[in-house]
Amino acid sequence: MTVADRLEEDLRGLFAHYPSDRSASGRTDGPAPAAAAAQGQGAVDAGLAIATADPPAPGVIPPALPPERVFDEAIDSDGRLRPHWRGVIEWAGRAGPEGYEAVLTENRRLRLESGVAFDPAGASDAMAAAADAFPVVIAPEEWETISLGVAQRARLIEAALRDLYGPQKALKEGWLPPGLAFGNPDFALWRRDWPAQDAPWLTLFEMDLARGADGRWMVLADRVDSPLGDGWLIANRVAASQSFAEPFLGARVRRLAGHYLALQQVLEDAMGPDGRVALMSGGGRDPRYFSHAYFARYLGAALIEPGDVTVRHGAAYVKTVEGLKPLSVLLRGVHSRHLDALFAPDEAAPGAPALSLAARSGRLRLANGLGTGAFAYRAMAPFAHVLCENLLEEPLILHDAPCLWMGDARAREQAMDEPELWRLERITRGPMTEKGAPVLTMRDRDALIRFLRRSGDRLAAVATPPLSTTPAWVDGALAPRQWMMRVFAGLTPKGWSVAPGGVATLVEPGCPPPPLAFGKDVWIPARTEDEARTAPSIERRMAGAHLRRTGGDLLSRVADDLFWLGRTTERADGTLRALRVVIDRMLSGQEEDESPEVLSAILEIQAGADERRVGMVRVRDAIGRLTADPHEPMGIAALLSGLRRTGQRVRPYLSEESWRSIDRLCSDKGWKMPPPPQNASALLRLIDDSLLALAAFAGATHENQTRNHVWRFLELGRGIERGLTFARAADALAGRRREPDETWLRAWLTLLDSRSAYRTRYMTTPAPAPAVDLLILDERNPRSLVFQLMRLEEALERLPSPGPRRSRELRLAMRTLMEIRLADPEALAEEDEDGVRPRLRALIHDVREALADLSDELARSFFAHTQSHAQVQAHQRMMAPPESPA
């Protein structure tokens, strides 16, 4: 058997799941799947009904007559491989099922790794594992037509928005029904009063596109209000180009970088020399957060949330630890309704107050502009043809999938007469997935009519005809599956550019477009050497431009989260150490170690006192609250929940090892149902494992974290919380004496992880003065109080200061540090006649107050950007008019 024969046999094996009754055209004979066939017949009937109407019903797109056979992407009309597919299919034949599985495993690994820093909820992990990875290849000639159609659609929506918020000629001439605008919750009527601006409405545009079974392309949805799915496209391309390296290079696939370089030029021109570009995301709970974060890093833009922006004197500013920084261009991943309370007061609680005022003044460019949602999703579909002919004066290149606007009475009747064909969707927001959402098959027809009359302006009845098929890897062979893709366009200095590629996904017949995530990478082979030439990386382009990267400007929200991440890790460490000290003493068998008063005092440093119980019952109750009660503020359950939540919010700023340590600790199943206090040895093992995870986190941040503001705020949180933990322990264990000092001091040394250091230094039983010296005044002991103040002073010295003087928080830390350094350990250890150490207690009290004040000052200066009461009063006195002599 020759090599060619073997390859041909392998290819036949790969296509084992394709139907065997191929016609001469290379398409599938016989009926389509049942759902698609029923839908196709409905489309025929709908098309005939519309064709006989004179004139056609407003807002109706006649569905295309379905063909007898289904178009397949890989097989041409002669039953042979299409030329642009040959390289990929031949590679699959050589690789075989085992080779493909190896490539798929690598592809999934790359997808998962790309989400390590950007997916707090872990949602993309399942998406990456489940998505089909076999690419889709589109001929360059076809892609040119698609690009022209997508660019035309973007120009059409831009023109329609300018008209809708301007002269409203389309409404006056009847090209658009008034109900589509004034009954649309995403129509921003108040925007008509804005001064004329040169800024375009659209900067980014996405389109859901599919090829019908007859081979013609159709538009499934327009995404214009807050698209920003480009992160999925780029991450998908990176994973596919590396895992499918051989066929990718062999096909000379066009690269994406050139498209985004041109987009970056537009953003740079709009930004100006001193401005900033930011990308606003809804945060970790937004399912698109991965795409937002990935795209922001790719562009070199700051990733922000609504709370990171404030408006002062008509301009927008980003809150950073270095103060308020002007914001010039904002890429919106947040819907208009959630951006500003002026748009929708009942939906914009998380939005940035008065952000629309900055856009209105022209000092902030929003991409895309507020109000673009008026033509989002299906709103353009029923009227695209007439709008294109009248606004652009050119024929529509890409037609829409069947769509009926429910604001029209005849369209409502048609949809209700064919409920098996049409499904209801919100015209600008997509599928109706709410529980109890109305469907066309409601038994009470009168109730459905009343509902559609009342809410029809906001709804559309849509149908997805049978689609073309593309090869998908199923059970070790290639099988045809229906598919769709999302394509991405951006505004450039030369007009609209369409990214050469897209993200494709398999779809069930008749279903709406699924949410965007990882999928099949769409490849466009280059026709010329210029197209195939690798574009310069966007980082190299940005380095030579005047655009200032905002990665060094740490957001105040992120600094706040880092600060509390440090505090939460120290709180967890303190609780775990208190539990370990108590359990160790309970297991020691020594009578002096089993004193309930001592054990309770140790636990109640974290848990708080419960005067209702006494003796060992009180001890076991405190252990139970700290290990299993989710409502105990300093308990392990609450602390691990807070640790995961805060760690997820700052995950992009942590090293991989740091995040894994947090994830390992918070995912430990042992804390889901911890052993009871009676099973002390098992509980002790669980505590030791958790302490090791916290130590690994501390070591990873110390070794891998750059010494920038990220590290400093993490250190400030850890230092303040460790100092407060020390102060609480000193107050409970060393400030008074009710039993021999040895018992209390040994517990104090163990709790602060300094017992080994004491033994090495003194080799005696614990004594007050040496213990106080080691735990309070020893600057070489990382667990001492003075060491915590030293680390705070070091971090505060490198934080931004508003003036030439030292900041108030730094002066507070320095004064407290000096007070501790000047203390005498012998004097601190002295007791009064009641057995109390008054000087030690006074020092601890001062330290606790200073650390609490320091935390408040940090919040005012760097997190909230508010002035203290004294500063406000001083400003008011300065601005007050002088008193009259009378």
Q: What is the pLDDT of residues 397-411, one digit of tens each?
A: 999 999 999 999 999
Whether residues 560 and 596 fall in one domain = yes
Within-domain flag for 837: yes
CB-based contacts of 694, cutoff 8 Å, min separation 6? 569, 572, 573, 576, 661, 665
Whether residues 303 and 443 fall in one domain = no
How far apart are the C-alpha atoms of 78 and 32, rounded to whole Å? 20
pLDDT tens-digit map of 646-660? 988 888 788 888 888
Amino acid at 222: D
Is 534 a residue whose pLDDT tops 60? no
Number of domains composing the chain: 3
Residue by residue, DSSP assigns 347-367 as: T-TTSPTTHHHHHHTTSSEEE
The confidence score (pLDDT) of residue 188 equals 87
Q: Is the preceding peptide bond at 55 cis, omega within 30 degrees of 0?
A: yes
Three-class secondary structure assignment of 822-868: CCCHHHHHCCCCCCECHHHHHHHHHHHHHHHHHHHHHHHHHHCCCCC
Within-domain flag for 883: no
Within-domain flag for 387: no
How far apart are the C-alpha atoms of 271 and 249, rounded to whole Å? 36
Whether residues 504 and 628 fall in one domain = no
**Domain-ending residue, one of 462, 488, 504:** 462
Within-domain flag for 190: no
For tokens 């529980």, what's the residue? 435
Within-domain flag for 721: yes
**Domain-ending residue, one of 442, 462, 482:** 462
The confidence score (pLDDT) of residue 596 equals 80
Question: Which helix (H) or strand (E) element contains residue 405?
Answer: strand 403-405
Whether residues 613 and 754 fall in one domain = yes
CB-based contacts of 760, cutoff 8 Å, min separation 6? none
How far apart are the C-alpha atoms of 757 and 749, rounded to whole Å? 9
Q: At what angle do helices 755-762 and 741-751 cross, to 10 degrees?
A: 120
The three-class DSSP label of residue 104 is: helix
The three-class DSSP label of residue 100 is: helix
The confidence score (pLDDT) of residue 123 equals 54
Is 60 a residue whose pLDDT tops 80? no
Q: Quick check: 86 and 229 in contact, CB under 8 A?
A: no
Q: Quick check: 709 and 321 in contact, CB under 8 A?
A: yes
The confidence score (pLDDT) of residue 820 equals 93
Which residue range is the domain that position 71 belongs to?
A: 3-113+402-462
Is 370 a residue whose pLDDT tops 70? yes
Is 301 a residue whose pLDDT tops 50? yes
| Sign of the Cα pseudo-torsion (555, 559, 564, 565, in order) | positive
Q: Which of 820, 773, 771 is nearest to 792 (CA)?
A: 820
> DSSP character for 392?
I
The confidence score (pLDDT) of residue 737 equals 53
How far apart are the C-alpha atoms of 469 and 487, rounded to whole Å? 18
Whether residues 591 and 477 fall in one domain = no
How far apart are the C-alpha atoms of 350 and 305, rounded to whole Å? 9
User: % helix / strand / coil in the chain, to the nearest 5?
Assistant: 50, 10, 35
| Sign of the Cα pseudo-torsion (504, 508, 511, 517, in order) | negative
For tokens 């998406």, what's the residue? 127
Whether residues 485 and 337 fall in one domain = yes
Beta-carbon count within 10 A of 670 CB: 14
Q: At what angle do helices 596-607 and 709-733 cross, to 10 degrees?
A: 150
Name which of 4-8, 79-83, 703-707 the model is least confident about.
4-8
How far apart are the C-alpha atoms of 221 and 208, rounded to whole Å? 5
The three-class DSSP label of residue 255 is: coil
> DSSP character for 391?
I
Whether residues 667 and 731 fall in one domain = yes
Q: Quick check: 635 and 629 in contact, CB under 8 A?
A: yes
Q: Which of 536, 470, 529, 546 is nearest to 505 (CA)?
A: 470
For tokens 């070790």, what's the residue? 476
Is 45 a residue whose pLDDT tops 60? no
Whether residues 738 and 870 fall in one domain = yes
Q: Which of 371, 372, 463, 400 is nearest to 152 (CA)?
A: 400
pTM of the model: 0.78
The confidence score (pLDDT) of residue 636 equals 94
Within-domain flag for 770: yes
The confidence score (pLDDT) of residue 350 equals 64
Distances (CA, A) of 869 to 148, 675, 749: 60, 49, 40
| Sign of the Cα pseudo-torsion (82, 85, 86, 89, in order) | negative
Is 157 a residue whose pLDDT tops 60? yes
Whether residues 827 and 863 fall in one domain = yes
| Confidence class for position 514, pLDDT limits 50, 70, 90 | confident
Residues, the chain, total? 886
Q: Quick check: 619 and 668 in contact, CB under 8 A?
A: no
Strand order in the sheet with 423-426: 403-405, 459-462, 423-426, 430-431
Beta-carbon count within 10 A of 815 CB: 12
The confidence score (pLDDT) of residue 584 equals 85
How far apart are the C-alpha atoms of 780 and 795, rounded to whole Å? 17
Pairing of strands 520-523, 136-137: parallel
| Confidence class for position 703, pLDDT limits 50, 70, 90 | confident
Whether residues 75 and 211 fall in one domain = no
Within-domain flag for 802: yes
Alpha-helical segments (H) within 165-309: 169-173, 178-182, 230-243, 245-250, 257-271, 289-299
How far apart are the C-alpha atoms of 324 and 322, rounded to whole Å? 7
CB-based contacts of 325, cutoff 8 Å, min separation 6? 276, 317, 318, 550, 553
Is 129 a residue whose pLDDT tops 70? no
How far apart are the C-alpha atoms of 776 and 783, rounded to whole Å? 9
Q: Mean per-residue pLDDT for 426-435?
A: 79
pLDDT tens-digit map of 788-821? 999 999 999 988 877 778 888 999 999 999 999 9
Whether residues 586 and 561 fall in one domain = yes
Q: Quick check: 65 and 49 in contact, CB under 8 A?
A: no
How far apart are the C-alpha atoms of 484 and 709, rounded to whole Å? 45
Three-class secondary structure assignment of 192-230: HHCCCCCCCCCCEEEEEEEEECCCCEEEEEEECCCCCCH
Tokens of 665: 């600790």
Within-domain flag for 354: yes
Q: How many helices (H) and strands (E) does the chain have?
A: 32, 20
Amino acid at 805: R
CB-based contacts of 643, cutoff 8 Å, min separation 6? 565, 568, 569, 572, 662, 665, 666
Whether residues 150 and 30 fall in one domain = no
CB-based contacts of 819, cutoff 8 Å, min separation 6? 843, 846
Q: Quick check: 663 and 654 in contact, CB under 8 A?
A: no
787: phi then psi, degrees, rounded to nearest 5: -65, -35
**Domain-ending residue, one of 543, 572, 590:** 543
How far apart are the C-alpha atoms of 52 and 498, rounded to whole Å? 38
Q: Quick check: 347 and 334 in contact, CB under 8 A?
A: no
Distance of CA 205 to the CA centre of its chain: 20
The confidence score (pLDDT) of residue 21 equals 43
pLDDT tens-digit map of 4-25? 455 455 555 666 666 644 433 3
Q: Mean per-residue pLDDT for 425-430?
A: 87
Q: Rounded to 5 degrees, what angle do the CA atoms 469, 471, 477 make?
A: 135
How far apart are the C-alpha atoms of 520 and 517, rounded to whole Å? 10
Beta-carbon count within 10 A of 763 CB: 7
pLDDT tens-digit map of 355-364? 888 988 889 9
Residue scoring higher pLDDT (272 or 91): 91
